[in-house]
Copies of this chain bind each other. A is one copy, B any other.
């Protein structure tokens, strides 16, 4: 079986043996943003054409390739859902040489009826071994961070926080960014922002504080971006974490390490997972697909 985590900006592909073992792995920068409409068969063959030529007949794709802007839309499936439900809801792409199936994204409603969506993260969570051992939270940090409640390998519900994209927008397009110098993340300044997020006074007030602290010489320009990052991630973490519990972190190592700091500071128990969750999730969903 060939499995591909195919997102907006990149592809990660694996050729798996009968037992799910990895025979080969590849990465490419051919995310869906870089594939023209109608160009998906060719983009698949660019990364895995030789494996198909060698006889692979099953291809499973997850991520934005199943969105409206992707190859074929795989409509959002309602929570709760795990590998079995995802396998049943896969959608076939028109491709002659092999069976190509797309894993759907998930949706749910928050307690007030506002919709929520994820696409790609459901497969990573399905690959989280620990999620089968005990109920807990999975956190997938990014532009739109996802916090999912998982039990027995199924996603019961989830919430998205716009923290990453808000950070970038505040840094690039407000007065806060004009007082920030570039440089490495300061863990001390990040921790200070996380601590500030626990103060009364709302995020919108805390944001102005970044400006005022700078004006009074109480926050260095070199520390401002790290402080702002801690402030936003701290707010997100406090909102998402309702009690002391394990939080499984799946994400880019540097960002996951920052989230782990924030989660620990806010009373949670962070556990940084390895980077192979997508591959394991695809393998697990692929096992349950009715290929014929």
Interface residues of A (CB under 8 A from B): 110-112, 114-117, 144, 159-163, 165-166, 168-170, 172-176, 196, 199-209, 211-213, 215-216, 218, 232, 235-236, 239
Contact = CB atoms under 8 A, between A and B. Distances in A.
A201 B161 CA distance: 9
A204 B239 contact: yes
The main secondary structure of chain A at its interface with chain B is helix
A115 B213 contact: yes
Given A111-B200, A239-B205, A212 B116 contact: yes
A162 B174 CA distance: 9
A204 B205 contact: no
B165 A201 contact: no
Contacts of A204: 161-163, 166, 203, 232, 235-236, 239
B200 A160 contact: no
A235 B202 contact: yes
A160 B176 CA distance: 14
A130 B212 CA distance: 29
Contacts of A159: 201, 205
A215 B115 contact: yes
Given A144-B208, A159-B201, 11 more contacts: A111-B199, A112-B199, A114-B199, A161-B205, A162-B204, A165-B174, A169-B169, A172-B173, A173-B173, A203-B235, A204-B232
A207 B110 contact: no
A104 to B, nearest CB: 14
A229 to B, nearest CB: 13
A94 B81 CA distance: 73
B166 A202 contact: no
Contact of A203 (B168, B174, B203): B203
Contacts of A207: 161-162, 166
Contact of A110 (B116, B160, B169, B205): B205
A200 B159 CA distance: 12
Contacts of A111: 199-201
A263 to B, nearest CB: 15
Contacts of A114: 196, 199, 206, 209, 212-213
A114 B161 CA distance: 26
Contacts of A232: 204
14 contacts: A112-B196, A112-B201, A114-B213, A115-B215, A115-B216, A117-B212, A159-B201, A162-B205, A166-B170, A166-B204, A166-B207, A169-B174, A173-B173, A205-B239
A147 B112 CA distance: 29
Nearest to A163: B204
A74 B236 CA distance: 39
Contacts of A165: 174-175
